[in-house]
Structure 1
């Protein structure tokens, strides 16, 4: 049964869901039409051909990454909040992010997050090349961490596992360290530890909280 009153946003929502679940290769106009219960011609009418549809998905992904808003009472806390939000977006949309990259729009995609970081770095008192170093370091930390996360998730089961490798002997006579290294990694905790250490080492100190700012969550 043909569906009536289909909108462009509904087409893009369905296409996004298909890409997120199965990757861009699974997105065909026929499959998308079946998902929406409509005719293929209706899909073409709303979004054009497949390449136009992919371009629209890329534009939407770029726009979503532009919605990151810093939170926190200090410049350092707000920089960390941007890093956390950026990591979540990159993890939530791996196939869409890959599409953005393939179309040469990666730098544009990161521009809003970088502008948010610049504002907070300026608030902390840094300008010029030193400010640029902080912005780039935070971005590289986030992207690198996400790449390592995804690589670990896709890796085969490790034998021996961490819990089998770490003993007091291999941990330089530190049993507590061995036990900690043998436990599964908590990615969120590790990410916060690393990005906070990076930010604390690069920013000169916390400035006053501007009005209307909340706390990092």
Structure 2
């Protein structure tokens, strides 16, 4: 029995859930109607055709990504908080982010994070081209790290495993290094280490 009442937000929530679980290709009006227990005509009435539905999902994703509020006592701490938030938001919405990119709204999606970074590099004393380079380097680091992280997660199981390929003799004078390389990488920790080091270098006074 079809539902007698349905809201636009409920349609978008269900559509976002389908995309998150199965990817954009799995989003059809029939599947969405079945998920909501309603008629296909009801879906069309609320959101229009599939293209209009995808555009509505993209707009909502961009709006959700807009709320990035830096935290911390120093510009470096606040930049790191922006990086962590952006990575988290992108990891939470991989398929929706792909839709945003396909519809040419990637730059708009990143604008709030970019504005937050501009504010913080200014607070750190950077101006002009040096400030622009800092903002872009941080953005590239975040997105690049995330792409590598996602590719590693999607890769098939390796045989032999990465740890089995480690040569204990590769670091004969540093057994601690050899042991550490044999352990699986901690992406969260590695992300913080890399962004913190990059930010420290970018905000440092220029060498005379």
Q: TM-score, normalised by structure 2?
A: 0.95
Q: Distance in 2 between matches of 1:6 and 1:64?
A: 22
Post-superposition offset of 1:172:
4.4
Query: 1:153-212: per-residue Cα shift (whole Å, max 9, x none)?
Result: 11122233232232441124321101000001110000000000000111138xxxxxxx
Indicate the structure with greater helix content.
2
The corresponding residue for 1:153 is 153
Show the counterpart of 1:47.
47
Unaligned runs of 5+ in 2: none
What is the CA–CA distance in structure 2 between the aligned matches of 1:157 and 1:34, rounded to whole Å? Answer: 35
Q: Does 1:199 align with 2:205?
A: no
Are the equivalent residues in 2 in contact too, given 1:15–1:27 (CA < 8 A)? yes
> How far 1:47 moved relative to its partner?
0.5
Hey, what's the Cα distance between the residues in 1 that align with 2:172 and 2:117?
40
1:167–1:175 CA contact under 8 A, matched in 2 = no
Counterpart-to-counterpart distance in 2, 1:180 and 1:162: 12
Q: Which runs of 4+ in 1 moved over 4 A?
A: none
CA distance in 2, matches of 1:5, 1:158: 49
Looking at structure 2, the residues matched to 159 and 179 of structure 1 have their Cα atoms a distance apart, in angstroms, of 20
Return the offset for 1:38.
0.9
Answer yes or no: is 1:122 the counterpart of 2:117: no
1:25-40 equivalent positions in 2, closer than 5 A: 25-40=25-40
Q: Provide the residue aligned with 1:113 in structure 2.
A: 113
Counterpart in 1 of 2:14?
14
Distance 1:137 1:66, change over 3 A: same
Aligned length: 205
Q: What runs of 5+ residues in structure 1 fail to find an aligned partner?
A: 206-217
Question: Within 2, Cα distance between the matches of 1:80 and 1:137?
Answer: 13
Kindly state the Cα deviation for residue 68 of structure 1 after the two structures are TM-superposed.
1.2
Normalised by the size of structure 1, how large is the TM-score?
A: 0.91
Q: 1:83-124, CA deviations, whole angstroms, 9 ceiling, x for partnerless residues? A: 001101111111111111111111111111100111111111
